[in-house]
Amino acid sequence: MSNDTIKTRVPATARKGEVIEIKTTIGHDMETGQRQNASGQTIPRRIINKFVCTYNGKEVFVTDWYPGIAANPYMAFFLRAEESGTIEMAWHDDDGSVYTTSSEITVS
């Protein structure tokens, strides 16, 4: 990965039942496998192929990604805050790597 930076924006607090917006980006080259290097050899495909968000261990948002996704992909999505806990995000790479981050949210 060219830049292993993960940035997220998760509200620290929310009211029970409130719909909150989660924003996140990950630094990644997203190599499609269709380009060639200076020697004419094909650069192997290496993309983030899956994104999973869990809320207190339960999957709440899952997406499959394909070569058309831009480098350093950005995501924004909504979820309903029902209880205090942990929101974890995981990006799955073609090479088997999984990049994760988590945020705590307090629901009142």
In order, the DSSP letters of 42-68 are BPPPB-EEEEEEEETTEEEEEEE--TT
Residue 1 in this model has a pLDDT that exceeds 60: no
DSSP at 25: E
Query: Model confidence over 43-68: pLDDT tens digits?
Result: 998 999 999 999 999 999 999 998 88
The CATH number linked to 79 is: 2.60.40.10
Q: How many separate domains does the chain show?
A: 1
Residue 33 in this model has a pLDDT that exceeds 90: no
Burial class (CB in 10 A: 0-12, 13-18, 19+), 51: buried
Task: Determine, yes or no, domain membership for 39.
Answer: no
Task: Determine, yes or no, domain membership for 93.
Answer: yes
Residue 12 in this model has a pLDDT that exceeds 70: yes
Q: Which residue range is the domain that position 15 belongs to?
A: 6-34+44-107
What residues contact residue 38 under an 8 Å CB cut-off, 6+ apart?
none
